[in-house]
Structure 1
């Protein structure tokens, strides 16, 4: 029988690795983030957990043995999806591991903007004691969650602790607990004028690229805050900058950008009504544990039993 091989292109601890070895004791398992560790094994790996851009050049239709790819991120837009689909590679994402840390970041941004924490931090650096026209609060306001998945649901749950009205948007329009009103993408411009906070938690797909631009920002309240932790390309960044400069919206909390790292010349850096985080909203001490224990191990058991890994299985047509 030919050697069966798994690549985990991440640095994981021995405890997590042991859980995997117990399931596939006869497999060769390659572990480590450095390309020098796994690059000579990519072409004949049956399973890869954690995609790296360097793998693009190694895997092709003629030589790849890859049957299943488990990504280490929720987003799949950076993958060579057409090639992987043509090779009949099953893809599962890390969607779901981010619900706690990203919902925490969302509320950190919402509260920071509302209570002007970012303004006070700047004043602290200059030893300035000034009220800065503090007058807003988050309680009993309306929040619109554009993309109600795991992150959106956890965000809605937290919003209820603040007595907020929660409006949600998802493709199916299916109702969810903690969401007062659910809409479909066709209703985007119905939601926006109602919201004090607009939170984007969408994946990047051909349908969501450039979804937020001048028209959408003009539809929002001038007192509303815009939060994006989805993907930068969902927003027309120049049009967001224009909306902020012209006070069409009150401010923005941004974790993702069209170009990352955000170029130093971007006006966003200097805007007093913007909080920037460097695409870290999903970072957490429990990340690897959740990917392996909650997603990869159950999917691995299914795969070994001849079943399709079902947790977070990518729909190539939808792009998520």
Structure 2
């Protein structure tokens, strides 16, 4: 019997073309938006794999309970911390779209690092005020140590760019091993060593109960005074008040913030408890590191490929264990 992929996310013609070309003859594709209201329950109950954006938005009340026998619920977003996974049937495998936007986000990290090292925004502001500070020194990227906390898709893509520019790569992942060429690899228990050795620290790990508030006053104090901290992950991994205080007390330290504590997609609004953008040692972007023209289809294809793996009886990647679920 041909398995069924039920697509609950909004899919225009372009998205449908990506989904169907990637699935091929592996499964029958049904778009929930095309299904009559009286037939939704039957369609969901027979789903082999579900492809979703946010189950809390895609599904109507009570429909999640119909998914108890699906092989996989595949989300198209890399981060699923804001999706109420606890509402899904117990034991159903759930996968994020890990690494879907790795390459664009790696470029964003590189751009932020270079902007900080070369003092681009600081000197731009001084020029605008009439100060031509030609002989104030800036720093080289080559020869520095880039610490990567969270060595998954984003971390690996960033490391590949950094190595090509002569950067030494230190990294942490759960297992403490990697097939990627790095200068040092550690486990989560080695965090202090990573913090103290890094000239540039990149956060590219998921938000989980274990990583929420992972970096606070003590951890920031372990970092070099002139370190550059780049957060591509989630604001909540950092203690917001501690970071603001550290930036004010340590003007040599730079924070490059792409991921914020309160954001429109996850919280319905943007807000800061502290005036980060008023500080000269902050480089800010509106969590747009993944918003590259044309990449939406690449990311969708990667999610569908993982769904196809499950449909074919394989072991899908980027499974989210219960211990990592935030909601």
Which TM-score band applies after superposition, normalised by the shorter structure? Answer: 0.7 to 0.9
Q: Tell me if 1:229 matches 2:235.
A: no
Instruction: Return the offset for 1:165.
Output: 1.6
Which deviates more, 212-221 or 309-318?
309-318
Instruction: Return the offset for 1:259.
Output: 1.2
Instruction: Return the offset for 1:78.
Output: 1.2
- How many angstroms apart in 1 are the aligned matches of 2:180 and 2:74? 29
| 2:232–2:257 contact (8 Å) kept in structure 1 | yes
Q: TM-score, normalised by structure 2?
A: 0.83
Corresponding residue for 1:6? 7
Q: Secondary structure at the match of 1:253?
A: strand
Instruction: Return the offset for 1:28.
Output: 3.0
Task: Describe how 1:1-320 pairs up with structure 2 within 5 A.
Answer: 5-11=6-12, 13=14, 15-19=17-21, 22-23=24-25, 27-30=29-32, 44-45=43-44, 46=47, 47-51=50-54, 53-55=56-58, 58-59=61-62, 62-63=65-66, 67=70, 68-86=72-90, 88-123=91-126, 126=128, 128-131=130-133, 133-247=136-250, 250-260=253-263, 261-263=269-271, 266-300=274-308, 302-303=310-311, 305=312, 307=313, 310-319=316-325
Tell me the C-alpha RMSD between the 2 structures.
Answer: 3.0
| 1:10–1:50 contact (8 Å) kept in structure 2 | no
Q: TM-score, normalised by structure 1?
A: 0.84
- How many angstroms apart in 1 are the aligned matches of 2:300 and 2:62? 24
Q: Which has the higher contact order (CA 8 A, sep 6+)?
A: 2
Instruction: Return the offset for 1:56.
Output: 6.6
Instruction: Return the offset for 1:172.
Output: 0.6
Gaps of 5+ in 2: 264-268
Instruction: Return the offset for 1:117.
Output: 1.7
- How many angstroms apart in 2 are the aligned matches of 1:94 and 1:210? 23
Which deviates more, 11-20 or 265-274?
11-20
